[in-house]
Chains A and B, each alone.
Chain A
Amino acid sequence: MLTLLVNGHSHTVTADPATPLLWVIREQLGLTGTKFGCGIAQCGACTVHLDGAPVRACVTPLSSVAGRAVTTIEGIAAPDGELHPVQQAWIAEQAPQCGYCQSGQIMSAVALLNTNAAPTDSDIDEAMRGNICRCGMYNRMRRAIHRAATANPVMQFDPAAEVTHG
């Protein structure tokens, strides 16, 4: 029995303490936004925040997260549902394609902006190079990070809107 604090909620889980956090939050908590990609911390699809810092959940044993705050992609929007500025910028730039890596990408971007409000391109490279996107949407994600950082007007999803790149 172990108590986990995920997205502000406390959960009691039963699992081998060596189990990676990824499988616990997906299979036991039902939070499937965090993805399995490689299992060896090479692709970043499983990125979550541990006390605000990005970690790869696929290699983070359950035993190491007791008493610490875990944030997943499901936990970054405002309580009223308003999307995080990074999520809004992602929509404005039409950044995802297949979308599978995007939870991890967004978590890495949010962590970057939490510590660096105006990142340069090389700051972005450094923060994001741990996240692979096989659809190759790197330029759009870079633009989205700059857009979120500079607080350009961002859009919620609007089916009537046309795409405008910043």
Chain B
Amino acid sequence: MGKWTRRGLITAGVVTGGALIVGVAIRPGHRAPTLAPLVAGDDEVLLNAWVKIGADNHVTAIIPHAEMGQGVHTSLAQMLADELDADWSLVSMLEAPAHEEFANYALGKGFILGNVEVPSVLVGTIDGAFLTLTQTMNLQITGGSTSVRATGVHGMRVAGAAARQMLLEAAATAWNVPVTELRAANSQISHASSERTAPYSQFAAAAGAVAPPSKPVLKTQDQFTVMGVSKQRFDIPAKVNGSAKFGVDAEVEGMKYAAVKSSPVFGGTVARIDSAAAEAMAGVLKVVDLGTAVAVVADGYWQAQQALNRVNIQWNDSHASSATQASVFAQFGRDMDAAVRDGSGSVDVSRGDVDSAMSAAAQVIEAEYRVPYLAHACMEPLNATAWVHENVCEVWTGTQNPLGFRADVAKAMDLEDAQVTINNYYLGGGFGRRAQSDYVVQAARLSKTVGKPVKLIWSREEDIQQDNYRPAVVSRFKGALDADGHPMAWTNQYVDKHEPAEAPHIPYAIRSQYIHYADSPTHVRFGPWRSVDHSQHGFFTESFVDELAVAAQKDPFEFRRDLLTDVPRQRAVLELAAEKAGWGAKLPPNWGRGIALQESFGTIVAQVVDVEVADGKVRVDRVVCAVDPGFAVSPDGLTAQMESGIIYGLTAALYGEISIEAGAVIQSNFHDYPMVRMDEAPRIDTYIINSGAPMGGAGEPGTPGIAPALANAVYAATGTRIRELPVKKYDLKFSINETEEMG
């Protein structure tokens, strides 16, 4: 990839990384010819990697992201179509194949330019190439709520605008008129004075030879016609009649089915297996020792699973086999103490003079919070179909990271990247889990072992017990209030920093702050989970702010609002949520109302939760959600993401707990890892502010605020402060309402 030019469209401002940032994605005659066979029919001209226009004037948006229900296939097409002035009824989409030509350069640009944070854990499988910026990029990731704000803003819109400009130039040449006299609208170009109108397709071939503009002019918000409109999602019709194909639905001629069981203790290995009984069962092809797991390949999945149950497996003891959840939390506490004692911790934020403020305080409030490990529990259990044959490996699966998976499979199977093909399907949930390739590598190894295509399906038990978990965290706070109840200082120590870096930070104007952390690694595998570190720190910081408000004898909403003097967007979002929720109105007995605010992935969300606590049982009645994403490309899509993020976070807050015993995960399926169901789902009212700020993410920002808003509501209802999740750990039957006592 050494030979590339920076004159391309989206490369301006890129300072380093050579092959990483390429405007040539939009350069016909250079990169496009190698792409054309992949996506263009004989009668189509590929204008660039993100748009093609057919002879029938049909526009196809080529989307380098996986669809897992976030609506990205539609919203990104909207961004492209708007800038292209395309007729929306002629627009459809195609997911980009896993091919370097489609690597998500726009995502890289967003990262390099510093306006998008991509969780580094998402790209940990790419040999660090992303972080070092020196290797060929294998980047086609869906995660970090980056699709709209990186690919959409830097890729799709620019591609659409450039394509439009090239079509206009081609038309100007064809008609021999100045380009300024031409008008583009609804996939047509017209010239008023000569009364000529022709479809884009008429100029597509000629446009393919036009040098792409170095700086296409993007529309301003008031010019949007397709963005900002709630278009029906492309993917929904196939999802109501059973025809949508997920990874688990892949069918390859002659394929066998496999079930797998990995060492219950992470890092454990197979000591010995007795497979005689299993191999004697009907339909069983082979029992395979994968080193850290055992699999059975059979004619059908049920047969494979039944046979696997009959394999007697002995595991090697791992050093971690004595670990318990209590020992994990005890280790966190020890490491936090030690970091304070010997100064070995790392500083996140240090400003002002915390020690002086604490000494001078009228009140010092202290609290320790903790949250457990969490599994992703995607509805579609992890699965992959692989076929290793004649020095190639074909894979059919659902992945958030096709190019990374390709690299991982190639490495594991000792193949070149080009020998591996990833066919991506709809994802039955991702939430971060489908950014990690363990299940796909297993399928490839099984296929190679038996010499046939193999569809590997993880059981739900395997899915729950072999996840890469949302990390458990302990977080300690100290806050200083002056005699007027004004916060003077904020200290916070927690274990293990991941991504995004700002997750533990607070938006509040507190003069002295000291936020630091201690490393405390465990044997438990971890990975990104919807909203990543915001899922823990949102709960911690927004609960402790609430504790400060109570100590200051101030209203929790007003207390926060008065500290948002420097951040007007946050303040507006908080105020809108409070207003729409009717903050301050009297509630029935045993009801409570809580509020929380959290910016994540460039989007600001405030939530107000109403709960009723009766007989110790928490019932969530309503969630009011105010959100400022800068601009909502699809208001209904954003609303759906808020609803989804809230229910996902509510499940975690009420019930979510993965715990460790003898080094292994205790929970195994939905009976002991329960989910919020329809009868418990609160009404959710979402209100959008299009502030005009740079576009933020949608998939994750709905999640962080729900747990603290819920916990704060439970406190308001019962006087019990929830400092550990899930809420089900608390006996709320015999609570004293401290707020009333305080009068």
Contact = CB atoms under 8 A, between A and B. Distances in A.
Interface string A120-137: 000011101111111111
Most buried by B among A31, A45, A94, A131: A94
Given A87-B241, A94-B640, A125-B678, A35 B380 contact: yes
Given A39-B460, A74-B241, A141-B678, A101 B379 contact: yes
Contacts of B231: 159, 162-163
Contacts of A137: 640, 643-644
Interface string A71-108: 01110010000010001001100111111111100100
B240 A91 contact: yes
B232 A159 contact: yes
B233 A94 contact: yes
B373 interface: no
A94 to B, nearest CB: 6
Nearest to B699: A97
Given A97-B69, A159-B232, A135 B670 contact: no
Contacts of B305: 39
B670 A38 contact: yes
A94 B230 CA distance: 10
Interface in A39-92: 39-40, 42-43, 45, 72-74, 77, 83, 87, 90-91
Interface in B98-128: none
A65 to B, nearest CB: 15
Contacts of B671: 40, 42
Contacts of B303: 16
Contacts of B539: none
A138 B678 CA distance: 5
Contact of B302 (A20, A158, A163): A20
B669 A38 contact: yes
A119 interface: no
A161 interface: yes
A40 B669 CA distance: 8
Given A33-B243, A97-B640, A100-B428, A160 B670 contact: no
Interface in B286-303: 300-303
B544 interface: no
B282 A16 contact: yes
B33 interface: no
B460 A19 contact: no
A12 B221 CA distance: 60
Interface residues of B, number: 71
A80 B189 CA distance: 39
B302 A74 contact: no
A19 B298 CA distance: 14
A143 B60 CA distance: 32
A131 to B, nearest CB: 7
Contacts of B240: 83, 87, 90-91, 95-96, 102, 106
B429 A19 contact: no
Contacts of B643: 136-137, 139-140
Contact of A23 (B230, B238, B301, B670): B301
A74 B244 CA distance: 11
A73 B645 CA distance: 27
B371 to A, nearest CB: 19
Contact of A99 (B239, B640, B683): B239
A27 B251 CA distance: 9
A32 B248 CA distance: 9
Given A19-B300, A97-B644, A135-B644, A74 B242 contact: yes
A125 B676 CA distance: 12
Given A91-B232, A161-B232, A132 B675 contact: yes
A19 B380 contact: no
Contacts of B678: 124-125, 128-129, 131, 133, 138, 141-142
A140 B245 CA distance: 22
Contact of B648 (A16, A27, A124, A136): A136
Contact of B239 (A37, A74, A83, A96): A96
B115 to A, nearest CB: 27
A139 to B, nearest CB: 6
A128 B459 CA distance: 24
A134 B669 contact: no
Interface residues of A, number: 65
B670 A33 contact: no
A103 B237 CA distance: 12
Given A34-B242, A39-B459, A163-B230, A133 B379 contact: yes
B199 interface: no
Contact of B70 (A91, A97, A100): A97
B481 to A, nearest CB: 37
Interface in B642-679: 643-648, 650-651, 669-671, 675-679
A91 B233 CA distance: 9
Contacts of A135: 69, 379, 429, 644, 647-648
A8 interface: no
A23 B460 contact: no
Nearest to A144: B240
Nearest to B684: A139
A99 B88 CA distance: 24
B381 interface: yes
Given A32-B249, A125-B678, A96 B236 contact: yes
B235 A99 contact: yes
B246 interface: yes
A125 B640 contact: no
A33 B239 CA distance: 9
Given A124-B678, A138-B678, A94 B683 contact: no
Nearest to B74: A159
A30 B460 contact: no
A83 B236 CA distance: 13
Contacts of A72: 242
Contacts of B234: 159
A27 B241 contact: no
Contacts of B308: none
B236 A157 contact: yes
Contacts of A134: 377-379, 429, 431, 648, 675
Nearest to A15: B300
Contacts of B374: none
A99 B257 contact: no
Contacts of A129: 677-679
Contact of B242 (A40, A103, A125, A158): A103
A138 B236 contact: no
Given A16-B282, A131-B678, A98 B300 contact: no
A132 B680 CA distance: 11
Contacts of B413: none
A159 B89 contact: yes
Interface in B357-386: 377-381
A145 B428 CA distance: 22
B229 interface: yes
A103 B239 CA distance: 8
A32 B300 contact: no
B457 to A, nearest CB: 7
Given A100-B429, A128-B678, 11 more contacts: A16-B303, A35-B248, A36-B381, A94-B233, A96-B69, A97-B69, A97-B644, A98-B426, A130-B677, A138-B681, A163-B232
Please name the 3 residue pairs, one residue from A and one from B, whose CB atoms are nearest each other, closest first: A33-B242, A136-B647, A97-B69
20 contacts: A33-B242, A33-B243, A37-B379, A38-B669, A42-B669, A43-B379, A72-B242, A91-B236, A96-B69, A97-B68, A98-B379, A98-B428, A99-B238, A124-B678, A128-B677, A132-B677, A134-B429, A136-B646, A136-B681, A140-B643
